[in-house]
């Protein structure tokens, strides 16, 4: 019989209160639904901590990978990759280390030469996903179960006690554990079955992208992003000499892409300022698109349950945070619940610790991302910051740390807004001078001098 999650000897039931059918599988502390970046990272860390982990995925192929993804791992997650012992295998597979350069109408914002921010990393998901899945499968204590689709949650009272899965042959299996982890993506079935609180925020853009073989874009190996206000384009050099080109126009331009998405992608990217050589490159495979990118935020914990990666928080992919946050949220959860799984504290304390860590690290970023995702143009503070970063290395450094999610919005504003305001005043002064008008302060002093002279003459 499956061990009750509450430890009080009660029977495990499905949500309707009937005895759960199917074959029982005992012996796990943790059951993880979803064997992609977040799920595999959590399995590796919890397995290393001594937990017995069942890692299940609906896809039966070990080589399966996420197809619609820019693959970029922000530098804020590089330390997590190092802790997982994945950085060196990724480099051996051909990964490219890169920073990000950003074009706005004020010019290019380049990473400072003396930047202390680690470089991000680019490796196609068709290489990264099997790599991390294999690492998880070979971690002591982790059992990888492929071709298993979550059907129903198991309950002990109001506490989640596991999940019932079904294979492609229709055979059902009940997997019980102290903790169920949903790592099953933006449309998380685990979150839906658990009935956790769900909030959505609209998205006003759509996305198309594809891998191209050809000359490297300017600035390579660094990634290049064009904030065209309100549209966006990007170029991510990656393994095997390929570049991932993407565009995210507002939905008002969707008709341009309906007939020939690949051709429209090439035309769009070819027209950006300082355009990369996409027209001289060859599309490898097909262009991939996503029309609905609604931001989705779930409550990240419930009794006996935790959500990580996109299952917890799926935001606008424009900023390339999905892969990094998947890895980092898995790390925060594993560190938070490991003491409880080892029997050193109650699980609800570990879940509360994870909930606080997730909110503290990501809530501010998420709120800013929601605000811009609707497809609006830049607001005044954004224009001020980007204009200053294009000419002021200090501001550029702060914006790099923020854009790579190494610092939060509050710290970014504290460190960047003062220099940005000063740069704005200088820029305004230069513009007035070029137009033949004295700067405001000089004009005021001049007027004051004339008034003083007139008063003295009187």
Query: Measured between alpha carbons, how far is 59 from 57 in angstroms, rounded to an integer?
Result: 5
pLDDT of 59 higher than 50: yes
Q: Check if the beta carbon of residue 73 is closer than 8 Å to that of residue 327.
A: yes
- Nearest 5°: the CA angle 411, 416, 417 is 105
Compute the average pLDDT of residues 280-304: 97
Residue 406 exposure: Cα atoms within 13 Å on the Cβ side: 19
pLDDT of 171 higher than 90: yes
Per-residue model confidence (pLDDT) at position 452: 39
Q: Check if the beta carbon of residue 87 is closer than 8 Å to that of residue 335.
A: no
**In which element (H, E) is residue 13 found?**
none
Per-residue model confidence (pLDDT) at position 441: 46
More confidently predicted of 360 and 14? 360
Q: Which residues contact 135 (CB under 8 A, 6 or more apart)?
A: 40, 44, 84, 85, 86, 89
pLDDT of 203 higher than 60: yes
**Confidence label for 37 from pLDDT (cuts 50, 70 and 90):** very high
Tokens 């799926």, residue?
314
Closest Cα to residue 234, out of 68, 398, 70, 400? 70
Closest Cα to residue 77, out of 69, 86, 68, 89? 86
Per-residue model confidence (pLDDT) at position 24: 72
Query: Measured between alpha carbons, how far is 199 from 360 in angstroms, rounded to an integer?
Result: 18
**Confidence label for 127 from pLDDT (cuts 50, 70 and 90):** very high
Q: Is 208 helix (H, G, I), strand (E, B) or coil?
A: strand
pLDDT of 263 higher than 80: yes
pTM: 0.90
More confidently predicted of 436 and 200? 200
| DSSP for residue 275 | -
Pairing of strands 223-227, 100-104: parallel
pLDDT of 150 higher than 50: yes
Q: Which residues contact 186 (CB under 8 A, 6 or more apart)?
A: 296, 310, 311, 314
Rg of the chain in Å (alpha carbons): 26
Q: Check if the beta carbon of residue 175 is closer than 8 Å to that of residue 162.
A: yes
**Confidence label for 29 from pLDDT (cuts 50, 70 and 90):** very high
**Confidence label for 208 from pLDDT (cuts 50, 70 and 90):** very high
Per residue in 385-432, pLDDT (tens digit) is 999 999 999 999 999 999 999 999 999 999 999 999 998 888 788 777
**Confidence label for 247 from pLDDT (cuts 50, 70 and 90):** very high
Compute the average pLDDT of residues 258-275: 97
Q: Which residues contact 439 (CB under 8 A, 6 or more apart)?
A: 428, 429, 432, 433
Query: Measured between alpha carbons, how far is 128 from 92 in angstroms, rounded to an integer?
Result: 11
**Among 109-113, 368-372, 448-452, which range has the highest average pLDDT?**
368-372
**Confidence label for 437 from pLDDT (cuts 50, 70 and 90):** low
| DSSP for residue 59 | -
Q: Check if the beta carbon of residue 422 is closer than 8 Å to that of residue 428.
A: no
State the burial class of residue 17 (Cβ atoms within 10 Å of its Cβ: 0-12, 13-18, 19+).
exposed
pLDDT of 310 higher than 90: yes
Q: Which residues contact 424 (CB under 8 A, 6 or more apart)?
A: 384, 387, 388
**In which element (H, E) is residue 124 found?**
none
pLDDT of 18 higher than 50: no
Q: Check if the beta carbon of residue 72 is closer than 8 Å to that of residue 223.
A: yes
Compute the average pLDDT of residues 165-173: 96
């Amino acid at each position: 019989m499956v061990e009750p999650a509450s430890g009080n000897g009660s029977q495990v039931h499905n949500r309707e209160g009937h005895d759960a059918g199917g074959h029982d599988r005992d012996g796990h502390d943790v059951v993880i639904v979803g064997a992609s970046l977040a799920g595999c990272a959590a399995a590796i860390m919890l397995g290393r901590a001594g937990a017995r982990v069942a890692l299940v995925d609906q896809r039966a192929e070990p080589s399966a990978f996420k197809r619609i993804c820019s693959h970029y791992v922000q530098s804020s997650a590089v330390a997590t990759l190092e802790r997982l012992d994945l950085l060196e295998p990724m480099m051996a597979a051909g990964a490219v280390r890169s920073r990000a350069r950003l074009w706005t109408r004020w010019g290019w914002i380049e990473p400072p030469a003396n930047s202390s921010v680690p470089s991000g990393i680019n490796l196609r998901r068709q290489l990264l996903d099997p790599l991390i899945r294999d690492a998880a499968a070979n971690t002591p204590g982790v059992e990888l179960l492929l071709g298993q689709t979550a059907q129903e949650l198991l309950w002990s009272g109001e506490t989640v006690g596991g999940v019932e899965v079904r294979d492609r042959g229709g055979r059902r299996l009940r997997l019980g554990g102290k903790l169920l982890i949903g790592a099953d993506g933006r449309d998380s079935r685990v979150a839906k079955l658990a009935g956790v609180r769900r909030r959505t925020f609209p998205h006003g853009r759509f996305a198309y992208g594809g891998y191209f073989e050809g000359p490297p874009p300017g600035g390579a190996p660094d990634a290049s992003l064009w904030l065209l206000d309100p549209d966006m384009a990007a170029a991510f050099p990656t393994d095997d000499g390929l570049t991932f080109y993407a565009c995210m126009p507002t939905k008002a331009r969707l008709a341009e892409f309906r007939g020939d998405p690949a051709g429209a992608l090439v035309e769009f990217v070819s027209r950006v300022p300082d355009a990369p050589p996409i027209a001289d490159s060859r599309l490898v495979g097909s262009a991939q698109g996503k029309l609905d990118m609604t931001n989705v935020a779930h409550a990240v914990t419930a009794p006996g349950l935790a959500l990580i990666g996109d299952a917890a928080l799926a935001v606008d992919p424009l900023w390339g945070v999905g892969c990094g946050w998947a890895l980092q949220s898995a790390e925060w959860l594993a560190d938070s619940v490991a003491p409880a799984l080892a029997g050193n504290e109650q699980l609800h304390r570990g879940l509360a610790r994870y909930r606080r860590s997730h909110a503290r690290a990501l809530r501010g970023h998420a709120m800013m991302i929601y605000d811009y995702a609707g497809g609006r143009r830049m607001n005044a503070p954004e224009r001020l910051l980007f204009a200053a970063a294009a000419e002021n290395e200090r501001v550029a450094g702060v914006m790099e740390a923020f854009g790579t999610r190494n610092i939060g919005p509050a710290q970014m504003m504290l460190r960047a807004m003062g220099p940005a305001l000063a740069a704005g005043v200088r820029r305004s002064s230069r513009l007035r001078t070029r137009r033949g008008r004295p700067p405001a302060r000089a004009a005021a002093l001049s007027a004051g001098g004339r008034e003083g002279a007139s008063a003295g003459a009187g």
